Structure 1
Amino acid sequence: MLQIESLSVAYGCIQAVKGIDIQVAQGELVCLIGCNGAGKTSTLKAIAGLLPFKAKQALFKHDVNLLNMPAHQRLRHGMALVPEGRGVFTRMTVLENLELGAYSRHTGKQASKADLANDLAYLLDTFPRLKERLNQTAGTLSGGEQQTLAIARALIGKPDMLLLDEPSMGLAPMMVEKIFEVIQQVHLQGMTILLVEQNAHIALQIANRAYVMDSGLIDYTGLASKLINDPRIRETYLGQAPA
């Protein structure tokens, strides 16, 4: 689904990402973890087209070349971003936010009323809390509800791959658990996901594979189930001293 080779991102003379390789297979949930300033969000924004980057290769779905492709075109090819901070339209209702998400499918065509009705019904069944809040303005929702709305708004655009940037940021521990239940549910329904997350423990619990990033480089990569038990990862990123 995604194949990135030698990705680099710079802010002026500061090299934030220093030539990393990332691959995500169809149907995988891959997480990118690391400390603050490691380059995780810069990597995700580059993949989404929100930051200029250099790469030896950047392919989506085998033959879509991401080099120099504007962000809106990536959306039309089936790549959707749920940004850090959620980015919901606070003065619009939940329903209006979802309708905007459905406006341009990755086919490049506006959703028909029948398609929108069917997809909306499915999402509201999947996320019943949003159904209860359908006519509320998004700004009146809790942080966790806004994060669920941001995910649902991306999904209604019928993407092939979902990019999630720090979905747990600013949420209470109980809401973090609920949001990750939503992410896991979406993944189990077949969605390919690349997740950037500072909460390494919970990310590794639900991911298939993981990349561990530090100072713009990939330090470790492998199965999440193995990395979560790696003494080096436990001490550095999970706050647990090795036995």
Structure 2
Amino acid sequence: MLAELIPEGQAQAMSPILSIEQLTVHYGGIQAVKGVSFDVMRGELVCLIGCNGAGKTSTLKAMAGLLPFKAKRAVYNNSVDLNTLAAHQRLALGMALVPEGRGVFARMTVEENLDLGAYCRHDQAGIQDDKERVFTLFPRLKERRKQSAGTLSGGEQQMLAMGRAIMGRPDLLLLDEPSMGLAPIMVEKIFDVVQSIHAQGLTVLLVEQNANLALQIADRAYVLDSGLIDFHGKASDLILDPRVREAYLGES
């Protein structure tokens, strides 16, 4: 699945698909993000971790065009200026969001939700192929394809939100708190799928409060605190860092 998303050549794999410099986000008089800079390289899985209120979701929503923001530099795919790009234009350019809280269309069926994920596409045969691939990733969705999305469990809705995003054939998947409110067995399933689609070449920017899980699957990580990046590095290094272990993994 998603074989077309695998980067071609080492040079492409090392190029940034998303480059952000001095990002700020305000809610009225409150500054939620205070000058964050980060890059996501093509083919990477990068996570943003931190406590509640650190600015993680605000950063992701800004990238998706759901919150106004300012940035010295906000470039997607080496050439697209996100400062001037409307939210509805981003999927067509290869950026898809799985929002916090799933955001499925409750009165529509599972299949209708998936069809909406492909609304920018016109290749009907490819759309059908990708739908079957989503059903392979999430067999429960196939069993419930004619069921209203609002009647699904929380875990099934998370599967649907991810499947809907995949239907857009994104180059960059923005994934916001996929483990929130789910039973441990469902969290394990969701993270297995994230690893699987990333292994097939999809670039992922993951916001996740479960720092332990996020660091286990990520290539690199940024730690946010009160709207600023506290520190960053390889995920394999940060998971062993005493500061991270004490503050985010509950260890001393």
Take 2:250 and 2:66, find their aligned partners in 1: how far apart are those partners?
32
Question: Does structure 2 conserve the Cα–Cα contact (< 8 Å) formed by 1:88 and 1:150?
Answer: yes
Equivalent of residue 208 in structure 1, options 197, 208, 219? 219
Take 1:119 and 1:215, find their aligned partners in 2: how far apart are those partners?
39
Structure 2 runs not aligned, ≥5 long: 1-16
- Residues 94-148 of structure 1, C-alpha deviation per residue, up to 9 Å, x if partnerless? 111111111114xxxxx23222222212221222221111111111211111101
* 1:3 alignment partner in structure 2: 19
Take 2:203 and 2:239, find their aligned partners in 1: how far apart are those partners?
21
Within 5 Å, which residues of 2 pair with 1:34-53? 34-53=50-69
Question: Does structure 2 conserve the Cα–Cα contact (< 8 Å) formed by 1:4 and 1:58?
Answer: yes
* 1:192 alignment partner in structure 2: 203
SS in 1 for 2:39: strand
Within 5 Å, which residues of 2 pair with 1:77-96? 77-96=93-112
The one-letter code matched in structure 1 to 2:68 is P
* 2:232 alignment partner in structure 1: 221
The one-letter code matched in structure 1 to 2:145 is L
Take 1:164 and 1:177, find their aligned partners in 2: how far apart are those partners?
15
Q: Between the two proteins, what is the percent identity of the paired residues?
A: 68
SS in 2 for 1:44: helix
Take 1:183 and 1:141, find their aligned partners in 2: how far apart are those partners?
20
The one-letter code matched in structure 1 to 2:204 is I
Q: How many residues align?
A: 236
Are 1:179 and 2:201 an aligned pair? no
Q: CA RMSD in A?
A: 1.0
Equivalent of residue 129 in structure 2, options 113, 118, 141? 118
* 2:5 alignment partner in structure 1: none
Equivalent of residue 158 in structure 2, options 123, 138, 147? 147
Equivalent of residue 89 in structure 2, options 57, 73, 84? 73
Take 1:113 and 1:205, find their aligned partners in 2: how far apart are those partners?
37
Q: TM-score, normalised by structure 2?
A: 0.91
Within 5 Å, which residues of 2 pair with 1:133-172? 133-172=144-183
Structure 1 runs not aligned, ≥5 long: 106-110
* 2:7 alignment partner in structure 1: none
Structure 1 window deviating more from structure 2 (9-18 vs 154-163): it is 9-18
Take 2:190 and 2:134, find their aligned partners in 1: how far apart are those partners?
15
SS in 2 for 1:154: helix
Q: CA deviation at 1:48?
A: 0.7
Take 1:90 and 1:13, find their aligned partners in 2: how far apart are those partners?
34
* 1:59 alignment partner in structure 2: 75
Equivalent of residue 30 in structure 1, options 39, 46, 61? 46
* 1:239 alignment partner in structure 2: 250
Q: TM-score, normalised by structure 1?
A: 0.95
Runs of 4+ in 1 over 3 A off after TM superposition: none
* 1:130 alignment partner in structure 2: 141
Take 1:43 and 1:113, find their aligned partners in 2: how far apart are those partners?
34
SS in 2 for 1:62: coil
SS in 2 for 1:115: helix
* 1:14 alignment partner in structure 2: 30
Take 2:98 and 2:130, find their aligned partners in 1: how far apart are those partners?
18
Question: Does structure 2 conserve the Cα–Cα contact (< 8 Å) formed by 1:160 and 1:191?
Answer: yes
